[in-house]
Amino acid sequence: MMKQMKLLPVIGMLLFSLSVNAQGFKPNARLLKTIRTNFSAADAQYKLMMKSLDEGRFPKTFDLKSGKLVTSDSGWWCSGFYPGTLLEIYAQTKDPALLTEANRMLGLLAKEQYNTSTHDLGFMMYCSFGTALKLDPNPEYKEILINSAKSLSTRFDPKVGCIKSWDSKKKEFLVIIDNMMNLELLFWATRVTGDSSYYKIAVTHANTTLKNHFRPDYSSYHVINYNPETGQVQKKQTAQGYADESAWARGQAWGLYGYTVMYRETHDKKYLDQANHIASFILNHPRMPKDKVPYWDFDAPNIPDALRDASAAAVMSSALFELSHDAGPKEANLYFKTAEKMLQSLSGAPYQSLPGTNGGFLLQHSVGHLPQKSEVDVPLTYADYYYVEAMKRYETINSFK
């Protein structure tokens, strides 16, 4: 049974782990006020969601036709986002109902610390128990996260130089760009245990990904298929995007966020350079819409009628707020203003849910896997999670830890 958490003083300021900002950003007073309203609305929305959630299940999305939540068990890669979002909203509103629900979900999720069949333990465990640990230094959360890092590390192969993403019966070692998001858990594990093996795995994976995942224009493939015996690249492809050579929007967002984290954790300039290059590709793309909420794929054939992806915008906005702290003055201002615009767009029609609708989700119009016709133009838990994170980062943009 998880013990009741107690907030630490000024925790809202401490959650944004960034270097000192010398830019002196000037947040928009109207947007700051909107964010305060958004957090209040988020509290009500997530209480609506929790009332509709079946026992032992985790929300994935909402089916507009049936009017019911689509759910998963704890082993689904998105399982950590719901408790993580509950905790982030709780940190802002102090609503005990959200904390009670978060604790219930953490209890259901804890067993995944021993799951060695997935590369997504960063998403699942660090976005949930990592958030919980920042709010309450509970030794139980620490132990769960260390075990999660151990489990994730079992998927690393030194011959390939990567953590395996998807298991396959064929002679292939599949690595997706999304995996960059799971490395933060490993850096945390080295900091708290002193065991450098986690750090080394994260750096090796990032270096291999940097070498093989990116095109000359710094857009990324979604999937790299390695030969498990030699470590050589067998195929470069894009599974959830429009085509193998297209720029799937959320994939670009994962890369941007991932290499921004890499620079934060290592202070190696090559990762900052990579994050800047990815940001340049995204922000200077001629098919980036004026509201800065990208089409689901930058190369979708039916632009401007292609679907937008609010989840990609949420991830990009959060990443750009962090990257703005480390970039030069010119780039920093562009990153800040673009992330701000993304946040403004997501905080209004047509992306923001009306109160009491959308199954309790905060955002509408995200795209999961369009080629498989899965989760198309729907709310998604990770869209909400990174949207809440982006709002929190905007409020604390001139603070640091």
Known binding-site residues for substrate equal 120, 178, 238, 250, 254
As annotated, the binding site includes 120, 178, 238, 250, 254
For residues 153 and 40, give the distance between their C-alpha atoms in angstroms, rounded to a whole number.
Answer: 39
User: Residue type for 129, please?
Assistant: F
Residue 198, helix vs strand vs coil = helix
Q: How many CA atoms lie within 13 A of 225 on its CB side?
A: 12
- In degrees and rounded to multiples of 5, residue 356 shows phi and psi of 80, 10
The kind and range of the H/E element at 184 are: helix 183-193
CB neighbour list of residue 219: distance below 8 Å, 6 or more residues apart:
247, 252, 281, 298
In the set 136, 157, 167, 178, the catalytic residue is 178
> Which residue is listed with tokens 């082993």?
75
The vertex-378 CA angle with 74 and 70, nearest 5°, equals 35
Q: Are 161 and 231 within 8 A, CB to CB?
A: yes
In this structure, what is the dihedral angle of CA atoms 366, 367, 373, 378, given to the nearest 10 degrees? -10
In the set 43, 120, 299, 326, the catalytic residue is 120
For residues 253 and 154, give the distance between their C-alpha atoms in angstroms, rounded to a whole number.
Answer: 26
The reply to whether 120 belongs to the active site is yes
The kind and range of the H/E element at 59 are: strand 58-63
- In degrees and rounded to multiples of 5, residue 69 shows phi and psi of -70, 145
The separation between the first and the last C-alpha atoms of the chain, rounded to the nearest angstrom, is 31
For residues 86 and 75, give the distance between their C-alpha atoms in angstroms, rounded to a whole number.
Answer: 19
Q: How many CA atoms lie within 13 A of 90 on its CB side?
A: 27
The helix/strand count (H/E) of the chain reads as 14, 9
**Structural Rg of the chain based on CA atoms:** 20
The reply to whether 305 belongs to the active site is no
Q: Are 281 and 274 within 8 A, CB to CB?
A: no
Q: Which two tokens stand for residue 133?
A: 């640990």
Q: Which residues are catalytic?
A: 120, 178
